[in-house]
A = this chain, B = another copy of it.
Amino acid sequence: MKGLLLVAHGSRRAESNDEVRQLAHQLEASAGEKFDLVASAFLELADPSIPDGLRAMIRAGVGEVTVLPYFLSAGRHVVTDIPGEVNIVRAESPEVEITLAPYLGASPEVVDILLGLASGQD
């Protein structure tokens, strides 16, 4: 089984965290054959943590997980903190293949989306 874990920073505002959880549901609905399970996790301020999110996927039978940072810039969270959290679970469950995908802001398609939003075409 393949899993996708969408990782966000986490907010004191419950609505912002719910927006991330809702996005994970949309990803699951659109994932088709690519992923059997999609869930969300948070670096701080909201549950589950990244290790707990990964552990839940592994308990559900996922053997390959892609961790996808829902972040706009390659700051400390993306470069250091998220890999560190992922490595905790890599050490616990070395049989599970955990891959880190590029963060959202790294996508060249962001430029087109922004121009669409700015032009009222979205």
Interface residues of A (CB under 8 A from B): 4, 6, 8, 11, 13, 15-16, 19-20, 23, 26-27, 30-31, 34-35, 66, 68, 70-76, 101-120, 122
Contact = CB atoms under 8 A, between A and B. Distances in A.
Nearest to A122: B107
17 contacts: A8-B72, A11-B73, A13-B75, A19-B105, A23-B111, A27-B111, A27-B118, A30-B111, A68-B114, A68-B117, A70-B114, A102-B117, A102-B122, A107-B122, A108-B122, A109-B116, A110-B113
B107 A120 contact: no
A107 B102 CA distance: 19
A118 B105 CA distance: 13
Given A118-B66, A119-B34, A11 B75 contact: yes
Q: Is the interface of A mostly helix, strand, loop or mixed?
A: mixed
Contacts of A120: 101
Contacts of A70: 72, 114
